Chains A and B, each alone.
Chain A
């Protein structure tokens, strides 16, 4: 009876502690991206309020291809911040996240849509991005362009049945864990398959 009461008290305390650990929205920094869609190579504006005065915030672009540090921003005395950061030109078009965090603080994650660096409006109107592979070439110099502005280089790719060759490195922990799970599954599986009359044996004992 005592042990049950003890377990009940422990569960109650855990629940209370767990609940009190939930962060409340009051007083948290409010950070926004002025434009939700930005061209690769373009710039984006970040504004914030209710931030810790004088705190330095690190701005990072989180992508499926990896993370890119974009810069830092320092909050003013009033807790506000306004920063202009440049996106690298080689950022892949699509969905990304901007991570803004002070040292040791809780990060704020904002969704960002990146469009190709240079677009040809006429072609875009007639073809969706899934219909054509957009290969964005490097900007030519003014001399190469003959003094004109750089233009989009749209080169339709050809379909291919080839497989992608990706770098599939796995940490020793992952490989070790997988091998352990495999061996234990095979061992216990074999034991259970070979064990006959389990309930009868249990009943006799």
Chain B
């Protein structure tokens, strides 16, 4: 063999890794529509979570999860810790973007009927991941321990009290040795991530088993698509990596222009703040039912979403065949949006006794 015939270092390294990691097996066929943005929202969300995990690990080196120190340590992260402000801002803005992609992903799944047979179980795994995402955001809000964080914690305590004996594990009185804030921090950095990783693995496995849901065209019916398609998963993964880099670039840009805010240290008293936009739509219900709304509204909405694969059992994916269900889903979505707008515009009201 002539020296000039020998491939360069890059191709040789690629071949070395491909042979040992079995990367060729990733080049399985997938439908072309899987590469459209609407069908990549779940993957983009996953990359967002990877960014959150990396930035979160960094922030954990400086954060002090004790009520007396938490807010002070956040101020230190912003003003003193190396790269603290920019990393915290990336963490903050990635949360906002990830929440948008999660919501859009779920809307896409509902409207394209991707919860139908044989993907019902993956729909429930997705709902559990949605619940965990809200859990991450809620605990993360409390960790700031500014006025907003403290009021979120007070709402949490009120909701846990309503759960009675079922809320024992989550209650402040369950542990005398650790403050509730420290336990919520543990949930944020260990319990929730562990559950999240396990569920994501199941989610990805089931997508691999059933394939991506068929494209919604007139007359389309639900079926497994594994092994079908003209595109390759490796192409999909490269494109996803591209969207991930765009997400990272976008969050850095926003972080530089608008650093993540922090309120003044939380002080118990009359409510002064409103929750983040992903929770604020519950506030009008709180005006009616008080703190019970924190259990009633997510419970009813969760039940509606859980019942979708049971109610909508026809194989048809087209909008014309699912008018009633999609109309109801649209109505629910509209109510949430209107509630959110109303809650944002109205003055802060106390819901805690």
Q: Which residues of A does B touch, CB under 8 Å? A: 64-66, 92-95, 129-131, 133, 156-164, 166-168, 170, 174-175, 178-179, 181-186, 188-200
Contacts and interface: CB of A to CB of B under 8 A. Distances in A.
B256 interface: yes
Contacts of A194: 242
B245 A185 contact: yes
B259 to A, nearest CB: 6
A178 B261 CA distance: 19
A101 B249 CA distance: 42
A166 B262 CA distance: 9
Given A93-B68, A168-B85, A178-B256, A159 B268 contact: yes
A36 B147 CA distance: 31
B170 interface: no
Interface of B: 27, 35, 64, 67-69, 72-73, 75-76, 78-80, 83, 85-86, 146-148, 231-232, 234-235, 238-239, 241-250, 252-253, 255-256, 259, 261-273, 348
Given A95-B64, A182-B249, A186-B253, 9 more contacts: A66-B80, A129-B68, A133-B267, A182-B252, A189-B243, A189-B244, A192-B241, A194-B242, A195-B242
Given A174-B86, A182-B253, A186-B249, A198 B238 contact: yes
Nearest to B82: A174
A186 B86 contact: no
Contacts of B86: 170, 174, 178
Given A159-B268, A198-B235, A186 B246 contact: yes
Contacts of B243: 189, 193
Given A196-B235, A199-B27, A178 B242 contact: no
Contacts of B67: 129-130
B246 A193 contact: yes
